[in-house]
């Protein structure tokens, strides 16, 4: 890991989207390319922090565990951003940006964080942005309907997600929309490529192929 902002980093792409938007499938599509270092969301770390399932605890009691969970998310996402690779391209599932702009923001809206806890998370996030090597070159937004991702979530039946409601997904969708599509809240760290991620798995790879020139050629200009 190289946290210094001055250290060299690969062309970095982050894939963002709601729960169930197909981020894992997107990563699998690009995992076949030798030039790309693919980093999945570190869910297993969240399920086992020295024996504690922080993700499970969060879904059991959001009020009690939101600050603890999100503090660990920020740490693990920082590790993802700064993880060394000899490959020229790094493709990450989510980022320290969506951790703050989407999930911490939703916790704030829901009153799950005290003002002091929110201030600590914000101070840490601002420090990371200022001093750590977390730059991004391209954002891929897997745009979905909340109803579609709710159905997908029910089908995959992850234990920690049983308490996630359609209303929660709708609110999270709106935050993603305002951040990456309308660009009316928060800063956007890189050009955004928007994909229709409502498509079925049988045809979604055609949509993913639209990203290949920008990612493989490390192209910064995006036409949406």
Identified catalytic residue from 16, 41, 93, 105: 93
Q: Would you say 14 and 140 are in contact if contact means Cβ atoms under 8 Å apart?
A: yes
User: Annotation-wise, does 1 bind a ligand?
Assistant: no
SS3 16: strand
135 marked as binding residue? no
93 a catalytic residue: yes
Q: Was 68 annotated as part of a binding site? A: no
Residue 12 assigned to a binding site: no
Question: Which of 15, 26, 21 has the alpha carbon at shortest distance from 192?
Answer: 15
Task: Count Cβ atoms within 10 A of the Cβ of residue 8 and give its class: 0-12 exposed, 13-18 middle, 19 or more buried.
Answer: exposed
| Phi/psi at 221 (5° precision) | -80, 130
Length of the chain as a residue count: 224
Residue closest to 69 by CA, chosen among 92, 95, 101, 43? 43
- E-only strand ranges, the chain: 11-17, 36-39, 89-93, 138-143, 192-196
175 is in an annotated binding site: no
19 is known to lie in a ligand binding site: yes
The response to whether 24 counts as a known ligand-binding position is yes
Residue 144 in marked binding region: no
**Cα distance between residue 124 and residue 60, in whole Å:** 26
82 belongs to an annotated ligand binding site: no
> Is 14 part of any known ligand binding site?
no
Catalytic residues: 93
Q: Which residues are annotated as a binding site for ATP?
A: 17-25, 152-156
* Binding site, annotated residues: 17-25, 152-156
């Amino acid at each position: 890991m190289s946290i210094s902002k001055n250290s060299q980093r690969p062309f970095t792409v982050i894939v963002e989207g709601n729960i169930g938007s197909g981020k894992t499938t997107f990563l699998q599509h690009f995992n076949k390319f030798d030039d790309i270092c693919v980093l999945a969301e570190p869910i297993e770390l969240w399920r086992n922090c020295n024996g504690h399932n922080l993700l499970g605890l969060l879904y059991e009691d959001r009020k009690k565990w939101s600050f603890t969970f999100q503090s660990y998310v920020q740490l693990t996402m920082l590790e993802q951003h700064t993880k060394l690779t000899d490959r020229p391209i790094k493709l990450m599932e989510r980022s320290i940006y969506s951790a703050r702009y989407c999930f911490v923001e939703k916790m704030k809206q829901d009153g799950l964080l005290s003002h002091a806890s929110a201030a600590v998370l914000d101070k840490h996030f601002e420090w990371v942005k200022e001093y750590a090597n977390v730059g991004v070159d391209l954002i891929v937004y897997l745009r979905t309907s909340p109803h579609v991702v709710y159905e997908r979530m029910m089908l995959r039946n992850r234990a920690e997600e049983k308490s996630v409601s359609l209303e929660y997904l709708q609110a999270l969708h709106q935050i993603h929309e305002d951040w990456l599509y309308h660009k009316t809240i928060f800063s956007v760290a890189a050009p955004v490529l928007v994909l229709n991620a409502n498509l079925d798995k049988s045809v979604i790879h055609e949509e993913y192929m639209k990203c290949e020139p920008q990612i493989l050629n490390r192209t910064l200009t995006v036409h949406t």
